[in-house]
């Protein structure tokens, strides 16, 4: 298959249709008739893929039934990846891992009308990063870019006046970046409304059945679901937080209740595709700078890559790109077009909670580049250990 047909029945297009169909199916704001109509439109693409790849007829009824199960059950076998074994729905809506896969794989063949009609889950990483990148470039210098990027990372939510003042300092607009604290984060009692920040990324946590948890699945797994307890004075607190599980926060953990009124938070896509990876990049730079003889520069050359790491006295330098994707296959496909990876001084890092992706990335990048390098990808923690070893050797030789 070639051209538009191959694109329509490729993994990105079929995954987009499956996950967006689950998003529509779980929406309480759409009538039953309209829901079936929109599901039928998305079913056509998935059914065509099953027919062309496997000769299987996937009925609309079977497609609709599969929307409450796992993604892997709706994907044609030839398009499946091992990480597709995730639920499409969680609670009353789209699951976090499924939403991440959708944003990373959003098919370019989706129409403008479809995108306009979809919710935040339809916003791809590339679109969000592209928009924010141009906002940050407006600072006019590398130093200004770093200050603006850190302002977004370090202020994911908070008091509106303080956030506005910080944005003015670095030359960023608030429109498009921030919105009022979303209602799904509210905890209300006696007319008072509160919200809690994630101890890791400091963005509002979602409230469900008397507990709160971060919307980002790795943070949810690390922090867990925290129970809400109410004091006699009407103020809430969180129970169940284990500080020993928050080792990489990079700043003081703050889980005090915050008032909803007068506070704002980054819009979801900016939080997911700027704060989340940016936090890891900032943490990595700080950890590397703690090593004697090591320098780590964030986002050099207007973010041409994420870090430039050098070891004094060793003639050792690495250009680092840190990637935080749920779909390592999609990431490997994008990276395979990056010719700079043929240079051993260019490395790809993933957060330690993506450790299982390292072997997939190395295998596929070796295949893409003809085995010109033995290794392309590392976890952040493994990379810190590697740099520390190089620096120790350089220090011993002086």
pLDDT band at residue 121 using 50, 70 and 90 as cut-offs: very low
Same-domain pairing of 43 and 172: no
What CATH number does residue 383 fall under?
3.40.1350
The pLDDT value recorded for residue 322 is 94
Same-domain pairing of 81 and 9: yes
**Maximum distance among all Cα pairs of the chain, rounded to whole angstroms:** 75
The pLDDT value recorded for residue 130 is 66
Residue ending a domain, choose from 122, 153, 170: 122
Count of domains observed in the chain: 3
pLDDT, tens digit, 9 for 90 and up, residues 122-163: 444 456 566 677 777 776 677 888 888 899 899 999 999 999
Residue ending a domain, choose from 65, 90, 122: 122
Same-domain pairing of 261 and 318: no
Same-domain pairing of 308 and 341: yes
Same-domain pairing of 66 and 175: no
Mean pLDDT of all residues in the chain?
Answer: 84
CA nearest neighbour of 196 among 160, 227, 150, 234:
227
Same-domain pairing of 236 and 138: yes
Range of the domain at 363: 273-396
Same-domain pairing of 83 and 170: no
Residue ending a domain, choose from 217, 243, 270: 270
Same-domain pairing of 326 and 280: yes
Same-domain pairing of 134 and 266: yes
The pLDDT value recorded for residue 274 is 82
Same-domain pairing of 176 and 262: yes
pLDDT, tens digit, 9 for 90 and up, residues 229-238: 998 888 899 9
Same-domain pairing of 173 and 85: no
Same-domain pairing of 141 and 38: no
């Amino acid at each position: 298959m070639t051209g538009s047909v191959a694109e329509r029945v490729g993994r990105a297009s079929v995954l987009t249709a499956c996950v967006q169909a689950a998003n529509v199916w779980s929406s309480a704001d759409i009538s039953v008739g309209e829901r079936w109509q929109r599901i039928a439109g998305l079913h056509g693409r998935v059914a065509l893929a099953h027919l062309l790849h496997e000769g299987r007829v996937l009925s609309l009824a079977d497609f609709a039934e599969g929307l409450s199960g796992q993604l892997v059950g709706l994907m044609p076998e030839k398009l499946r990846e091992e990480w597709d074994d995730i639920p499409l729905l969680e609670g009353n809506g789209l699951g976090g891992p499924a939403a991440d896969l959708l944003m990373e794989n959003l098919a370019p063949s989706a129409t403008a009308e479809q995108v306009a009609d979809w919710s935040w889950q339809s916003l791809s990483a590339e679109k969000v990063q592209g928009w924010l990148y141009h906002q940050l470039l407006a600072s006019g210098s590398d130093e200004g870019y770093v200050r603006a990027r850190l302002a977004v990372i370090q202020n994911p939510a908070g008091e509106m006046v303080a956030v506005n003042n910080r944005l003015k300092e670095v030359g960023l607009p608030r429109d498009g970046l921030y919105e009022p604290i979303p209602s799904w984060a509210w905890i209300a009692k006696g007319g008072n409304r509160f919200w809690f920040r994630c101890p890791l990324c400091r963005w509002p946590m979602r409230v469900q059945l008397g507990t709160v948890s971060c919307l980002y699945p790795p943070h949810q797994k690390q922090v867990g679901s925290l129970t809400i307890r109410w004091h006699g004075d009407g103020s809430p607190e969180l129970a169940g937080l284990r500080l020993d599980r928050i080792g990489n926060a990079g700043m003081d953990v703050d889980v005090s209740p915050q008032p909803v009124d007068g506070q704002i938070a980054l819009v979801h896509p900016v939080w997911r595709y700027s704060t989340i990876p940016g936090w890891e990049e900032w943490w990595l730079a700080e950890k590397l700078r703690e090593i004697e003889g090591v320098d780590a520069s964030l986002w050099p050359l207007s973010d041409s890559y994420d870090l430039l790491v050098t070891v004094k006295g060793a003639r050792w330098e690495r250009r680092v790109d840190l990637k935080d994707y749920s779909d390592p296959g999609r990431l490997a496909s994008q990276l395979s077009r990056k010719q700079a990876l043929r240079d051993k001084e260019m490395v790809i890092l993933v957060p330690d909670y993506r450790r299982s992706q390292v072997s997939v990335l190395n295998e596929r990048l070796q295949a893409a580049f003809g085995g010109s390098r033995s290794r392309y990808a590392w976890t952040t923690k493994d990379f810190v250990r590697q740099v520390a070893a190089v620096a120790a050797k350089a220090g011993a030789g002086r």
